[in-house]
Every structure is written in C-alpha cells, then in structure tokens.
Chain A
C-alpha cells in the first residue's frame, strides 16, 4: 500500500517535537505489548521505519510473531490512523542481498542505520531524551492497511 503525501509528512515531522507513534506487537500466545516511539520515518512510500533501540520485548515479539500495529499520536489533529502489516527488524549482519517484503536490508540500513546522525534528537527535551541514542537496527513495518481509530469509525478502512 502506498502512503500518500499527507501521511508521509505527518510521519516525518521535523521540529515541534517530531512524530510520535505507538507500536503494538504481541507474543505468539497473544500477550500484547505497546510502546511509544519517537524516531519514526517513512521509507519508499510503503514502509514505516522506527529506530530499534533495545526494545527487548518488542524484539522478541517481532521475531516470534511478525504482526505489527502502529497508531498515530503526534501530530494528531484528526489523523486517527492505524497502520497494520508485517513487521521485522533489520540490522547489520544480514547478507548484502537480503530482501524482506521487497525491501533490501542494506538499502534501509544505509539510509536509516544511524538515526542520530541523519536526524539528531536535538529538539527532544533532556528529561525525555535517551541519555545516549544507541541504535541496534531498524524496525520496519510494511503497511498493508490503514484504518481509523476514531471511536465512531474504528476499523474503517481509510
């Protein structure tokens, strides 16, 4: 699914606190896990990237049950978007030609493997900024569907 310009822009907000989303995964037994994520971007109009910064439970869940849900937090203003799709973690060590869901790992890592360098978190207030931005890889979600989380139209395809 191709993400339109409005979505791409909202997920790549620079300044004003940047974009914030919640990432939901679940264990294979169905125990959900939800974590707020600040380092978010869109890649090639169909993947949402999140910096993988040692989110242990998320990592375990993704490996055993690769279904992800991303819900929009900021900037919201009517953007009640839920993105759903297969999810993985890309990190150094994969073969150069490793491809996941049409995405070449080396292409992703070349561009977003060093988030701190590409998009320094200088605007994030010190009390909520990670002490050191240590990135292990990229969490990549291929968007299969976009639905609303508006209470009156939750689940409605957008």
Chain B
C-alpha cells in the first residue's frame, strides 16, 4: 500500500500524467492525460478517450502494471514516479498506487518514498520544493 502525499495529489489532479504500460514481452506503450481524479490516498483515476482505451487495452488485460510520471511542468517540478495496478473501467483507468519513487536528478533519484511514514515524506518534500502543487 502506498499513500499519496497532499503535494502528489495536487500535482496529479492538476496535470494528469504520462502513463506507461507494457505487454508481457516488455514492449511499452504510453498514453498521456492532462488531469486525474484522486479517489483516496492510494487510488487515482485517469479519464481516457476511446482511442486511448483501445490503444492500451490489450496491454492492461495482459499486464496491469503501470508507471506514471506527472505531466507538463510536473515532469520536472514534481519529480515522482508512481507504479501501480491498473484497471480499465469504461473510459477511465483506475490505478491502485503500490510504489512511489523520487526521480529528482542526483543522489535521491530512485529513492523509494512509499516505504517512509507519510510525515517523513511531507518533510522530505518541504525541504526540497517550495510549492504544494502546480501553479494556478
């Protein structure tokens, strides 16, 4: 179980993400959304077009593991990678987040955040970034 921090939720909700899928042979496909709906501390839902659903459906059926990076300026300002188990429900991709990594360049790249207590994650964020979400 991975808990999203308030900052992570704000960035995901505001800018959506680049969602990477792969088939069992490891061939990746990526879809991009510009928003997301935060369901709760560990579940996020991304709205998809019908074409996006068709594009990744086979991959999700075969291999529901996805990796997500926050879209737009979040790719740099909110350097997280989320991994999780995805499920297509009509035109929405629901993702249960299972792992969270820091992807800030430098020695902290790859630091796993979901194994830290939430208070520690929030403190980590506060000492590295000044914002608590994307610019309005």
Contact = CB atoms under 8 A, between A and B. Distances in A.
Interface of A: 17, 20, 22, 24-36, 38, 53-57, 65, 67-69, 71, 73-74, 76, 80, 82, 127-132, 149, 151-155
Contacts of B31: 149, 151, 154
Given A22-B18, A73-B72, A128 B65 contact: no
15 contacts: A24-B28, A25-B28, A27-B26, A28-B26, A30-B23, A30-B65, A35-B103, A36-B76, A53-B105, A69-B28, A73-B72, A149-B30, A151-B48, A152-B51, A155-B29
Given A128-B104, A149-B32, A24 B51 contact: no
B67 interface: yes
A55 to B, nearest CB: 7
Contacts of B106: 130-132
Of B32, B33, B66, B81, which is in contact with the most chain A CB atoms at under 10 Å from its CB?
B32
Contacts of B130: 127
A19 to B, nearest CB: 11
Nearest to A68: B28
Interface in B30-88: 30-33, 48-49, 51-52, 55, 62-63, 65-69, 71-73, 75-77, 79, 81, 83
B73 A34 contact: no
B20 A69 contact: yes
B81 A35 contact: yes
B22 interface: yes
Q: Which applies to chain A's interface (DSSP): helix, strand, loop or mixed?
A: loop
A22 B69 contact: yes
The 7 closest A-B pairs by CB, nearest first: A36-B75, A32-B20, A130-B105, A151-B49, A26-B22, A32-B67, A65-B26
Given A82-B30, A151-B48, A34 B76 contact: no
Given A26-B20, A80-B32, 20 more contacts: A22-B30, A24-B18, A24-B20, A24-B67, A26-B26, A30-B26, A31-B22, A32-B21, A34-B18, A35-B103, A36-B103, A54-B109, A55-B109, A56-B109, A74-B73, A130-B106, A151-B31, A151-B33, A151-B49, A155-B55
